[in-house]
Each structure stands twice: as structure tokens, then as C-alpha cells.
Amino acid sequence: MKALTWHGSGDIRCEEVDDPIIQHDRDAIIRVTSCAICGSDLHLYGGFVPGMHSGDVMGHETMGEVVEVGRGNSKLKVGDRVVVPFTISCGECRQCKWGQFSLCERSNPNGAMQAKQVGYPTAGLFGYSELYGRFPGGQAQYLRVPYADVGPIKVPDGLSDEQVLFLSDIFPTGYMAAENCDIKQGQTVAVFGCGPVGLFAIKSAFLLGAERVIGIDTVPERLALAQQSGAETLDYTDEDLQQQILEMTGGKGPDAVIEAVGMESHGAGGIMETMQTKITSTERPYALSQAIMACRPGGVVSLPGVFVGPAVPAPLGAFVGKGLTLKTGQTHVQRYLQPLMDLIEQGKIDPSFIITHRIGIEEGPDAYKTFRDKEDGCVKVVIRPNG
């Protein structure tokens, strides 16, 4: 089959790899009908994430048609259309039973390695390095789905791939980021980063009762989509960003701030930028620093942005002095699948609004560069691996 594979920093290739096979009774194999390039894939593309191997299959935003099911899987049958969460979860451990699916204690075969770095194992992830299990990803014509009786959700008739594909990651991620803000009716939320996750965070904040949302970015296409989603917008390169936030909120500041940028934040012109340009022992949390500055005292900072390294400098003095609450975490995708599917069916949101580019799998390597460089108005790329 054809797949997009990693071969080093800046080197994604479309090449032939072995077809997946059933390895465990709870597995399923899907023929991928749609997949997407995620912002966190750019961290792999840039060589910022350790534990990648030449030839690893990329991708974790995937859906398709079931073509084979393991003997122990009674949930799915051949022909089902399903969306696959990026988190791989057993459904039986204590974390899964608590609804914390991204913290599954069993699904990561390299959990012991991961525990040496973070203290405990967490869930395996598709297409995201040795540390998370080295599971082949979904930017391919076919995908093996472990624990397929727990993860995938069946797609109701009448909904297109483009309406439901982002249930695999970025819609639940944006929604959980907004939910973590504990939004009360009438409150104001600021969102740093108006990429796909940030845009879904904006939409979700309104769904959860926010009166105002301030979207902060510098890419014109992203700011335009934020405005279309109901947000007021600011350019984060403005040296007076904090003052503008204060003026927009009558000096009170936002009640919660979502940092939807993570380690790709470059922070040019930001309040607390440093001269760091490469990730070594520390990462580059410019947007996190600005989010902490922007949040009102006693407010919430919600952090869905991806960080990888062992040390992330942040203004903890300001954080503690202002009495802020920080909520983070990989998304517990399975928890949100049905509620968000219901919102789509009810017509309360159409996630396809963020798609700007539609391609075949052979165009994938070029699309990675276009997405990384924010060229050609690129906000979100959807790939149809099988035409």
C-alpha cells in the first residue's frame, strides 16, 4: 500500500509499505477514505520529537471503512464507516474506566520506556514516535486499529467524511480545551493560536456559554476564520498585545485563556520572547508565557498545545502570584465522540469549515511543506489515500 513515511527532519515521502494485518483479536483493519495533516505532525516533520525511525508511517487523524475484524471484536463489522481516535485505549484499565482514555495504562507497548521520562505510562498514539508505541499512522491506504472495540465510532448515514473526520483529534481537542476553562455564562475567553485546534476551541467556547472570544494569531487566513467563527481578533506580533487585551476587556482581562500553540510557538514580538531558536534541553513556550500574562487573576489557563522536552520555562512567579489554575492533557477522545457527533448531526457545527486543501496521497510530501510554511492560504489539508 502507499503511505506517507518519515525519513528525517523535513523529509516526508510517499512510498510503498507492507499492508497491515490483524495482530490481535480485538484489532480491525480499515481502508482509509480520509485522513489529515495535524499541527502536531509538523513537530515530527521538523525533527523536534525524539524516537522517530526512518520509514515510520505518519498520521493520526483518520477514518475509513472496516475491511477486516479480529475474532474477539464484536463491535464492528466489515463495511462499517468509522472515525478512529488518535488515542489508543484498552477500555478496561482504571484510567479508561475513569474516562481518561489518553492515560490508558495498557495500550502503549513502550510504556516502561515512557515511564522513565514521565513517571508512568500513558496511551499509545498512532504515528507518533517510539515513546508512544511506534504504531503505524493513518496517512496511508490502510490502517490497523488496535483495541478497535473501544476506539472507533460508527458514522451515521448522511454525514460526509469531511463533516466527521476531525472527531479523530482536533474537534475533541478544541472542545476539551474549552471545557477545561470551566466557562460560565457571559465570560470572556482568549485563544492563543487560531490554527485548527484553536478554531475549534473558539467554536466550542461559544457552545459552552462564552459571551466573547478573543482569537490571537498573525496568519491572515486563520484570523479570518476566527472572525467568521464569532471571535474578535488580535495580532500576536503587536508589541502592545497585553495592553490591547486589557483595553478590549475594560481592564479586567479574559476569564480563561486557551494556549493552542505549544512548542511550535516562535513568539516574534511577544511579551516574553527569548533568543532560543532550537529545542535543546528547553522548549519555546512563548505563547504559554503570554497566556499566563493575559489571564486575569484567579482565572484558568487551558493548555492543549503539544510540548515534548524535559524542561519548559514559564513565568511561574506570575502564575502563582495571580492564583491561576492550569488544566492540560492529551485529549480523552473517546469521551467526546458521541456528544460531538450529536452536535454535528443536529447541525450545530460543521467541522469542514476549516478545510482549505484536498489532495491525493502522492501530493502529501509537498503538502507538509505548504502547511508548515503557511503558504497558499493553507489552514487544513485533507488527504484521500485511495482516490
Summarize pLDDT for 230-265 with one digit per residue, the tens.
Answer: 999 999 888 899 999 999 999 999 999 999 986 553
CA 79 to centroid of chain Cα atoms: 28
Distance CA 129, CA 132 (A): 6
Q: Which residue has the cell 458514522?
A: 155
Average pLDDT over residues 113-121: 93
**pLDDT at residue 267, rounded to an integer:** 36
The pTM of this model reads 0.93
Spell out the residues 6+ positions from residue 124 whose beta carbon is closer than 8 angstroms to its own: 87, 88, 104, 107, 108, 109, 110, 132, 133, 135, 146
DSSP code for 258: E
**What average pLDDT is seen over the chain?**
92
- Partnered with residue 37 across adjacent β-strands are 381
Q: Map out the domains of the chain as residue ranges.
A: 2-169+331-383, 171-328
Question: Which residue matches cell numbers 470572556?
Answer: 188
Strand bridging mode 212-217 / 232-235: parallel
| Separation of alpha carbons 166 and 337, rounded Å | 10
The CATH number of 2-169+331-383 is: 3.90.180.10
**CA-based torsion, 157, 159, 165, 170: positive or negative:** negative
Instruction: Give the closest residue to 340 by CA, choosing from 165, 145, 89, 103.
Output: 165
Give alpha helix (H) positions in the chain: 39-45, 94-97, 111-118, 161-164, 170-179, 196-207, 220-228, 241-248, 286-294, 316-321, 333-345, 364-372
- Superfamily grouping for domain 171-328: NAD(P)-binding Rossmann-like Domain (3.40.50.720)
Q: Distance between the two ends of the chain, CA-based, in angstroms?
A: 13
Give residue 80's pLDDT: 98
- Selection from 30, 374, 331 nearest residue 197 by Cα: 331
Question: Which segments of 129-286 are extended strands (E)?
Answer: 142-145, 153-154, 188-192, 212-217, 232-235, 256-259
How confident is the model over 355-361, as a mean pLDDT? 98
